[in-house]
Structures are given as C-alpha cells and as structure tokens.
Homo-oligomer: A and B are copies of this chain.
Amino acid sequence: MTYARAGVDIDKVSRAHRAIARKLERTFRTRRGKIGRPIFPIGHYAGLVDIGHDKVLSLHTDNVGTKMIIAHMMRKFDTVGIDCVAMCANDLICTGSEPVAFLDHISLASPDHTIVGQIADGIAKGAEEAGMAVVGGETAITPDLLQGQVGDLIGMAIGICSRRELVLGDKVRRGDTLVGVASSGIHSNGLTLARKVLLKTHRLGERVPGLGRTLGQELLEPTRIYVKPVLELLRKSEVHGLAHITGGAFSKLDRIVSQAKLGATLEELPPLPEIFRLIQKTGHVSEPEMYRTFNMGVGLIAVCPDSEADRAIRIFGRHGQKAFRLGRVIERNGIRVKGTLVS
C-alpha cells in the first residue's frame, strides 16, 4: 500500500503547490512601497509580511483533513479543534514567530449544534495551549459540497516575529544536530492511508493490543502543540531551523536544510509507536513510504548547534515533552532516515 494508492499523491500535490506559488507571487508587487510587503518566497511554513517597526506577520492556513472522518465515525468532535489549532500554530513557530490570533472555518452539511459546540470546545482548548486568541471564524453550511455529514475544519493563524529573529533555515550549518520532539501519535497527517489500511481488518471501537485503548481513541489523540517549549527555546538558546513533521513527514526537513544547500541524516529514531507498526504491518507499507507519510513518533525537529542540543532537550523536558538527538546536518543533499532516502 502507498499513500498515492490511498488517494493522496504527495508528488502531484507538490507540483500543484509550486504551480500555484508561481502564479500567486506576482501579487507581491501590489504591496510595493506600502505597508505589508511580503518577504519572499512563498513555500516556507508561513507567509511572511513585513509591517514595519521591525515586525513581521506570519500567516498560515491548514486543515484537519480526513481525521474529521474518524471524528464523525466515533461521534466525537471535541479533539479535532485542538488538531486544527496545532496544525497552524506548530507551523507558525517554525518561522520563529509567536502565534497570536486564530480563525476557524467549519464547513458542515447542516448546522448541528452538538458538533459545532464540540469543535469550538477543542479550538478554545488548543488556542489556550498555543497562547492564541480566536478572534473570528465562519461556519459555512454547504450540503452540496460535502460528502455525507462529515464536514471539514480549516484553521488560519497569525503570528508575530521581530524581523531579526525570523528562523528561515539560512543559518543551518553542516554538523548541526537534529533534535526531535515526540509526537502524541498520528497527529493530523496520513489519516487517509491509515483508515484505508486499518479499517479493512479492525473496527474503531476495537481495543487493539499494544495501543492500550481502542483504535478510534488512538487515532483521535490530538496533535501535540509545541508552542510553549519552542518559544522558550528561541529565547534561551540558538536555533538554526525548525521543522513541523506533517504531510510529507520527514521530507519536510528538506525545506529547512536545503536553504543552506545541505542535507540531513537521521540515524537514531525513538522507539516506533505501536500505531505506526500496526499500519506498516497491516498495510504492507514500505519503510520509505512510512517515513514520507507519517511522523513515526517525531512531531517536530529543531536544528541547532551541537553544543546547544542538550539545552534544547532539557527545555522540552521541562514542558513535559520528550526530546532526543536524531542525527545531523550533512554536506550531501537529501534527507536520509536510517540510510533510506526519503526526499
């Protein structure tokens, strides 16, 4: 099984992204000489807009994806809002920005009070954890666009950074250490593949040995929010790059290290969480495909000078987040996980 066969071809998606970016970048000219000049290029973790007074806004939008289908099947919508905030906030911090404000966009086939209320509870919880204010949003009722009653959940977030303190990956150096931070499970990526593989042989309500809970509970575990430790890390230590491991998984690191025309090798990964072992075994998914699709237990990677790695690990630890040395930045291009080229 591959992610492409499950319906999501990452290469095709990347090509589509690049084609859009080229068309949209010409709009950057509209702000020439005005407040709110974009900082090139499109394609980092967030759009960056210079608003003067040494301040840059970071803008990002993301969605929960087909995790909504699991929520719908479980009739449990109180955690997807946390995922939605996490997907946006964790991307913003990868530019060195402090998340500030959030908007939600809920699409539903009908205005269901219970679902909307549960989603809003999760959004509020996630926003509080990320230190963001939810200043608006939209609930769109579009029965004819959506498949059945599932709905879609999209978030948009704004962060602020001092221009001097932006983390763009250009400071990454050969020999830098990759510090990985534990994920809380599958987070919000690869759910399409996970569902197609697992729901052939398991039910969501089934207690699966090794998970210690039902499959549905495991899949709905909310995405970890890394905002607080990362903001502390940025204040107290030296960080050359930050990668949120989401769609494309470890290939996301390439975005960071390729800025400095370098590559990375990951030699030691944390023990593989049971959910990924289950997906790999049940779906006969290849190793490279797993590393390109799932976070494999690592939700965030900080690239820092080797001398700062222990301090970084301690900071995450103080916030209750397990962090570990994964590998290092090397001369040779591409991202290799245990010798396998994933990007």
Contact = CB atoms under 8 A, between A and B. Distances in A.
Nearest to A125: B27
Range of interface residues on chain A? 35 or more
Contacts of A65: 140, 142, 145
A128 interface: yes
Contact of A36 (B30, B138, B160, B192): B160
Interface stretch (A147-155, A304-312, A335-343): A147-155
A67 B15 CA distance: 26
Contact of A51 (B104, B128, B160): B160
A28 to B, nearest CB: 5
A302 interface: no
Interface string A127-169: 1100111111111111111110011101010101000000000
Copies held by the complex: 2
A127 B30 contact: yes
A135 B105 contact: no
Nearest to A45: B136
A204 to B, nearest CB: 15
Interface string A238-273: 000000000000000000000000000000000000
Contacts of A156: 59, 61, 103, 105, 156
A26 to B, nearest CB: 6
Contacts of A60: 103, 136
A270 to B, nearest CB: 28
A111 B12 contact: yes
Nearest to A28: B133
Interface stretch (A113-121, A206-214, A317-325): A113-121
B107 A23 contact: no
B141 A47 contact: no
B36 A101 contact: yes
A10 to B, nearest CB: 9
Contacts of A34: 131
Interface in A188-202: 192, 195
A30 B227 CA distance: 13
B150 A30 contact: no
Task: Give the one of A47, A53, A101, A140 with max B CB within 10 A.
Answer: A101
Contacts of A31: 100-101, 131-133
Task: Give the one of A24, A116, A192 with max B CB within 10 A.
Answer: A24
A76 interface: no
Contact of A146 (B23, B38, B145, B195): B145
